[in-house]
Structure 1
């Protein structure tokens, strides 16, 4: 099957959806970028700010005209959205998403469609900020950030290649991963840190001397808890959508924290130094990955062939 990318519809004009639309427009990668959001004010603002070319009034009509539909809504809203757009999807319309959990979205697609469309390419851009809304849209948000695609067996490899190439054209590094493994990895590297930040700030906010605690907080506290300013509804949904993997990570962290507490309580210097030294070495290794090959853009992501299908790449 042949695909085109003349018209793109972005459903959900928050930080990720708005940034995706704005990035497409900035790089002139498609002919038209339409936007739809349940909050019509966000669409109107997106149009005024030049984030989108066109504000959608009829969702089904827009879906029927689109060559690619980006679903950038909270993960718990995905199934209802898929049900709504399913009747209008053409056989050659690419459908991808920006959800940070994948197994629940794939399960939703299995419930909505008799057979998952070959054009369905689940994805997750690992980029973001504590800001939200279309006013936070950043055309360079995905530059030198990873995007993970988690195609299912029914997905057409050519559809995967085209979506991968589009993300690469926005400056991202594209990788493929099994959906279940994606949810496990993200539970550890993204979801758990966010929950720890939320929990720490919430705990300290109940302290009687909370004003002094926050007033004299050092840079480390500010850096770590910055992500606690993220959208509560979005993280509520993520906790429910990735429940099992997240509980496993919380249990692992709780055991580690218990060992640390015991070492402090018993003045076990050897254990304390061991924990801190191992953590420092691991963090230095992680820093090397961040500044080295892990964030160097590759022309072709592993296991993804990206033929030139009419999408311009940066510099071309």
Structure 2
């Protein structure tokens, strides 16, 4: 590994993912410089103090100075970022991202970047945490985690391989799937769980005895609602961006809970146990895999 492997990398959005990315890149010794771009001067200062970035720049300067650009902003901001960076994007600069939805981001890139869209190779590291902001960053955040690569027709095989290597250097295991498949899968296993976690917190908070309920909550409630501490802005954008897939999963979940409600109302102990047994066995099998 050498500092010339990836040269100068600009990270746009230096929160948990972006700052962790900077720490991992610098820890691996594969960059000459990491530039931070963002809206919050306090967060950027924190990232610089931690050593996640070397300096702060505006987007135009960062794009002109970099061989790599990594977009770690909420997905609703991607189109505006593409619009701002396009005039400054040289032919030898690669772009990747860490967005939790892919079809909408690819569409925005194609509409804004035009012929330069081939330089954007979409990615989604399946890593994160309940806390957000640079202060929560960890250099090992991507170690052993999966990063999904959603290349599209305009990408060259060589550029896709380079982006795969970029994420592998951070400790990720990469896997290629289509953007449509990605959005359908993660609506079920990521987006829906976050919505349910937020919903449970909101339900308890809406109770007249919310304070007492929270005061008596144990490990189960704490585990289930841990991800409700995640960035509200990010998850708001994900819900809108992946609306159709999320609504399909939410409707299916409501159907299951509706059947469970009916079983409870009828005191159908055998029916409840059958559903719980099937779910419990599947969870244990998945956990052991």
TM-score (norm 1): 0.88
- Map 1:216-231 → 2, pairs under 5 A: 216-231=216-231
List gaps (5 residues or longer) in structure 1: 290-316
Match of 1:27 in 2: 28
Map Cα deviations across residues 211-233 of structure 1 (whole Å, 9 max, x no partner).
22111112111100111111111
Match of 2:258 in 1: 258
Match of 1:303 in 2: none
Cα distance change on mapping 1:116 and 1:179 into 2, 3 Å? farther
Map Cα deviations across residues 128-176 of structure 1 (whole Å, 9 max, x no partner).
1111111111110011111101011101111111111121111111111
Deviating more after overlay: 182-191 vs 60-69: 60-69
Deviating more after overlay: 20-29 vs 265-274: 265-274
List gaps (5 residues or longer) in structure 2: none
Work out whether residues 116 and 154 of structure 1, in 8 Å CA contact, stay in contact via their aligned partners in 2: no
CA distance in 1, matches of 2:50, 2:178: 37
SS in 2 for 1:118: helix
SS in 2 for 1:182: helix
- Map 1:190-269 → 2, pairs under 5 A: 190-269=190-269
CA distance in 2, matches of 1:43, 1:233: 18
Once the two structures are TM-superposed, the CA of residue 287 in structure 1 deviates from its matched residue by 0.3
Match of 2:97 in 1: 97
Map Cα deviations across residues 26-70 of structure 1 (whole Å, 9 max, x no partner).
1111111111111122222222221111221x3212201210100
Work out whether residues 102 and 150 of structure 1, in 8 Å CA contact, stay in contact via their aligned partners in 2: yes
SS in 2 for 1:143: coil
Match of 1:297 in 2: none
SS in 2 for 1:51: coil
Match of 2:162 in 1: 162
SS in 2 for 1:164: helix
Aligned residue pairs, count: 286
Once the two structures are TM-superposed, the CA of residue 117 in structure 1 deviates from its matched residue by 2.5
Match of 2:117 in 1: 117
Report the structure, 1 or 2, having the larger helix content: 2
- Map 1:1-316 → 2, pairs under 5 A: 5-56=6-57, 58-115=58-115, 117-289=117-289
CA distance in 2, matches of 1:117, 1:208: 52
Map Cα deviations across residues 187-237 of structure 1 (whole Å, 9 max, x no partner).
000110010010111011111111221111121111001111111111111
SS in 2 for 1:129: coil
CA distance in 1, matches of 2:45, 2:206: 40
Once the two structures are TM-superposed, the CA of residue 275 in structure 1 deviates from its matched residue by 0.4
What CA RMSD, in Å, does the superposition of the two structures yield over aligned residues?
A: 1.3
Cα distance change on mapping 1:245 and 1:76 into 2, 3 Å? same
Work out whether residues 167 and 174 of structure 1, in 8 Å CA contact, stay in contact via their aligned partners in 2: yes
CA distance in 2, matches of 1:244, 1:255: 17
Greater RCO between the two (CA within 8 Å, min separation 6)? 1
CA distance in 1, matches of 2:43, 2:226: 25
Once the two structures are TM-superposed, the CA of residue 4 in structure 1 deviates from its matched residue by 6.0
Work out whether residues 192 and 250 of structure 1, in 8 Å CA contact, stay in contact via their aligned partners in 2: yes
Deviating more after overlay: 267-276 vs 141-150: 267-276
